A and B are shown apart, each in its own frame.
Chain A
């Protein structure tokens, strides 16, 4: 009696009254499917599914496999176990140079960038004439930031006879070639990153606009000064946005490639001081054709970024303040 066929026939009309729990669940599912449009969502998602599996999931797994092989693209990959990883950690000084440069780059540039972004956003969060012009001026470098042209200009600005030394000259300071000195070269990249504080600034500004005015008025009545208001009200209320910007900028920092490549002319020099991790990965994969090794580098990068993000989320519980 209760074959699939009669079920479907019944479902088209009013549901049969003596339906058991299993039957009712089936009806509910079917109703949900009708609301969901059956296979329609999959039609719309088809390109995305192909992209997700073909260009993300499969490549992730493939790169995990390749990271245990010796692979030069032209001959089949040869399984070598964990050799890539052991070599990386115990026997590859350039790897450690790149880790050092990248951590320095991320850990110095991100806090500076966020502090500047927040500071300028607070200055701009006033009824001020020409505020649109300021916002535009501060955001423009961020939009241009990834361009090769900017990296080229940077190289000249911090070169031996570049703009920066002219500027120092006004104060009677004798400059040097900042790009070709291993002690300072990575700081020119950091300055370039900090110069692009516009994106987090705009996001901070949007957050500042949503802060409740009455809290400030109450605080003013209680006699709270500017600094107290900033540290007791603005900053705590803004922590979700600080958190959002922090995660975004850290991930961005780890991915930085173009300026390191252009400023060092593809070498990561001097003395690997600008060998940011992404540049090292590129060189291993595409210059040296050590694609297995580069895949191992990629997985380490992926795990490090995931680790940083996870730590941020856990730590965030202690300092990020949510209203609801």
Chain B
């Protein structure tokens, strides 16, 4: 008895430390709330500035506006060159096209990698993983010349078509991992019933991999929507501009008189991502934590 007692004390200490009681818990919460506030403060500041009159933005630093100035939103909306509704429409065309492309092409490739044996599969798979690491800048210029020769510059095609060719290999990898967790017996049973691989893919695999498809959809949406570099390179006429390009027009203005409108449009530009985040928060965070980990 006495031989065990001294060794139990530190163990209990460890347990109590893990479950955190009293002042330690309060301390931890205070610390975390502090960090969270610092993290979110720039966003809150943007939101609050979007509702202040220009004269107040830099002279009255508090988060709560003295008086609300929602006109920033209407001014910004009609503001720079074209109306923002055009930029939003353009962004929607690009992002929806990209989402469909990624979901279709990446799931097809993932099914092949997860379910078939074929010559050189390991090498192809390795190449696919390698392309995840490849920086876009390394292929940007030749890709531009290809699209230039196809006379696709100033169209949405260079932003959408590559997604139909499964160039976002990250999602292939994610889906391969997911398909591997689906029992093979399901495919085999379907094969016994005379289904061909295309039917198995369509009727069995796709419906079962909905979670992976949703993760792909959300991330493709957000990343394409925010993908400033490609939009900047390929879209040169104002009428084709997307939301990020429309926003930069505010920067070109030398007069500092439209800060309120700029913050208003910045807030609006973030809205789709924010909504995505609020709706899918759990899935986003957990999907991210589990995907990179295996393999």
**Total contacting residues, chain A, CB less than 8 A:** 99
Docked pose: A139 CA to B29 CA in angstroms: 17
A211 at the interface (CB under 8 A from B): no
Across the interface, which residues of B come within 8 angstroms of A226, CB to CB? Answer: 17
Docked pose: A262 CA to B133 CA in angstroms: 25
A138 at the interface (CB under 8 A from B): yes
A162 touches B58 (CB 8 A): yes
Distance (Å) between the CB of A77 and the closest chain B CB?
9
Docked pose: A252 CA to B104 CA in angstroms: 26
Contact among B31, B32, B289 with A202 in the assembled complex (CB-CB below 8 Å): B289
B25 touches A128 (CB 8 A): yes
A147 touches B229 (CB 8 A): no
Distance (Å) between the CB of A76 and the closest chain B CB?
11
B207 at the interface (CB under 8 A from A): no
Across the interface, which residues of B come within 8 angstroms of A251, CB to CB? Answer: 133, 135
B197 touches A309 (CB 8 A): no
Contact among B39, B109, B247 with A148 in the assembled complex (CB-CB below 8 Å): B247
Nearest A-chain residue to B57, judged by Cβ: A156
Residues from 153 to 170 in A contacting B, C-beta threshold 8 Å? 153-157, 161-163, 166
Give a binary string over B235-262; 1 marks a CB under 8 Å from any A CB, 0 the rest: 0000000011001101110000001001
Nearest A-chain residue to B218, judged by Cβ: A143
A216 touches B14 (CB 8 A): yes
B233 at the interface (CB under 8 A from A): yes
Give a binary string over A80-99; 1 marks a CB under 8 Å from any B CB, 0 the rest: 00000000000000000000
Docked pose: A141 CA to B39 CA in angstroms: 7
Across the interface, which residues of B come within 8 angstroms of A255, CB to CB? Answer: 135-137
Contact among B136, B143, B146, B266 with A152 in the assembled complex (CB-CB below 8 Å): B266
Chain B interface residue number, banded: 35 or more
B266 touches A153 (CB 8 A): yes
Distance (Å) between the CB of A319 and the closest chain B CB?
19
Across the interface, which residues of A come within 8 angstroms of B113, CB to CB? Answer: 45
Q: Give the interface segment out of B67-75, B77-85, B92-100, B267-275.
A: B267-275
Residues from 125 to 182 in A contacting B, C-beta threshold 8 Å? 126-128, 130, 132-141, 143-144, 146-150, 152-157, 161-163, 166
B259 touches A127 (CB 8 A): no
B284 touches A143 (CB 8 A): yes
Across the interface, which residues of A come within 8 angstroms of B252, CB to CB? Answer: 265
Docked pose: A241 CA to B293 CA in angstroms: 8
Docked pose: A281 CA to B137 CA in angstroms: 8
Docked pose: A120 CA to B36 CA in angstroms: 10
Across the interface, which residues of B come within 8 angstroms of A44, CB to CB? Answer: 108-109, 111-112, 116, 197, 201
Docked pose: A309 CA to B129 CA in angstroms: 14
Across the interface, which residues of A come within 8 angstroms of B267, CB to CB? Answer: 149
Distance (Å) between the CB of B9 and the closest chain A CB?
9
Nearest B-chain residue to A169, judged by Cβ: B61
Nearest B-chain residue to A35, judged by Cβ: B117
B194 at the interface (CB under 8 A from A): no
A203 touches B292 (CB 8 A): yes
Across the interface, which residues of B come within 8 angstroms of A20, CB to CB? Answer: none
Docked pose: A153 CA to B145 CA in angstroms: 34
Given contacts A47-B166, A48-B165, A149-B266, contact A55 B139 (CB under 8 A): yes
Distance (Å) between the CB of B130 and the closest chain A CB?
9
Given contacts A50-B165, A59-B139, A294-B141, contact A40 B229 (CB under 8 A): no
Contact among A143, A150, A258 with B222 in the assembled complex (CB-CB below 8 Å): A143
B226 touches A146 (CB 8 A): yes
Docked pose: A41 CA to B232 CA in angstroms: 36
Across the interface, which residues of A come within 8 angstroms of B270, CB to CB? Answer: 144, 147, 149-150
Contact among B61, B201, B273 with A163 in the assembled complex (CB-CB below 8 Å): B61
B14 touches A220 (CB 8 A): yes
B141 touches A139 (CB 8 A): no
Contact among B109, B139, B251, B266 with A63 in the assembled complex (CB-CB below 8 Å): B139
Across the interface, which residues of A come within 8 angstroms of B145, CB to CB? Answer: 62, 66, 73, 291
A278 at the interface (CB under 8 A from B): yes
Contact among A47, A130, A261 with B109 in the assembled complex (CB-CB below 8 Å): A47
Across the interface, which residues of A come within 8 angstroms of B274, CB to CB? Answer: 144
A45 touches B112 (CB 8 A): yes
Given contacts A36-B118, A41-B116, A55-B165, contact A126 B20 (CB under 8 A): yes
B40 at the interface (CB under 8 A from A): yes
A254 touches B135 (CB 8 A): yes
A156 touches B259 (CB 8 A): yes
Query: Can you list 11 residue pairs at the A/B interface with Cβ under 8 Å?
Result: A42-B112, A51-B167, A59-B146, A63-B142, A66-B142, A127-B20, A137-B39, A138-B35, A282-B233, A291-B145, A294-B141
